[in-house]
Chains A and B, each alone.
Chain A
């Protein structure tokens, strides 16, 4: 079976539109997708902040005090607020998409999506509570 097109007398010039570099602004789904992908930048930002905190802890109490003072500046507070919102967006989209990638079958039947999503949110609550407990109990 030939997959080559058969050209007729009027040679068909097929038209191909070039995809614009602004393709992601063309509809809401695409824009939401790119925003979702950009959450990774804020994830990296916070990982670096935590690495910086670790370094400050290693360098001694003065360095750590300096680190804490830096986090109180308005610029960092603003950045952290934005980062927090993006990280929340990441978490919510991640949990909602997990059942698509992980199909669990119990006794031959597929576990419904809402169960997987629910389990994710439950784990989120439990782990967040655990972290808060560890960080807040020993002052």
Chain B
């Protein structure tokens, strides 16, 4: 079954990789370094909620979190398969990786749908 949807998984991997390449550096820099270290003032709770009222923000965040997870799932699965030569576990690895990505996507979708 996995073999028949390989092209889809590769497309998700590519889309996720592009999202991660274009957007993660700035987000990670701000949220992970600039804001905690006080180099720049972080937006406060109300400001972020204001941003979240726009459906475009919610769609953006869905794409921002979900696609890179699929990028990781596909790439990591092949890294384990080739790098550690875990060929006998190939189905288990695939299920765990894509399953985790699906779980993350579901959680993101749920939060973005229900956040007030």
Binding site for B on A (CB under 8 A): 19, 21, 24, 34, 37-38, 40-41, 43-44, 46-51, 53-55, 57-58, 61, 64-65, 68, 71-72, 76-77, 80-81, 83-84, 87-88, 90-91, 94-95, 101, 120, 123-124, 127-128, 131-132, 134-136, 138-139
Contacts and interface: CB of A to CB of B under 8 A. Distances in A.
Given A24-B83, A49-B32, A136 B41 contact: yes
Contacts of B52: 57
- The DSSP consensus for interface residues of chain B is helix
Contacts, number: 158
Q: List 7 A-B pairs, minimum CB-CB distance, nearest first.
A: A80-B32, A44-B72, A128-B26, A40-B75, A94-B21, A91-B21, A40-B72
Residues of A contacting B: mostly: helix
A47 B65 contact: yes
B108 A51 contact: yes
B11 to A, nearest CB: 12
Contacts of B71: 40, 43
Interface of B: 14, 16-18, 20-33, 35-37, 40-45, 47-52, 61, 64-66, 68-69, 71-73, 75-76, 78-79, 83-85, 104, 107-108, 111-112, 114-115
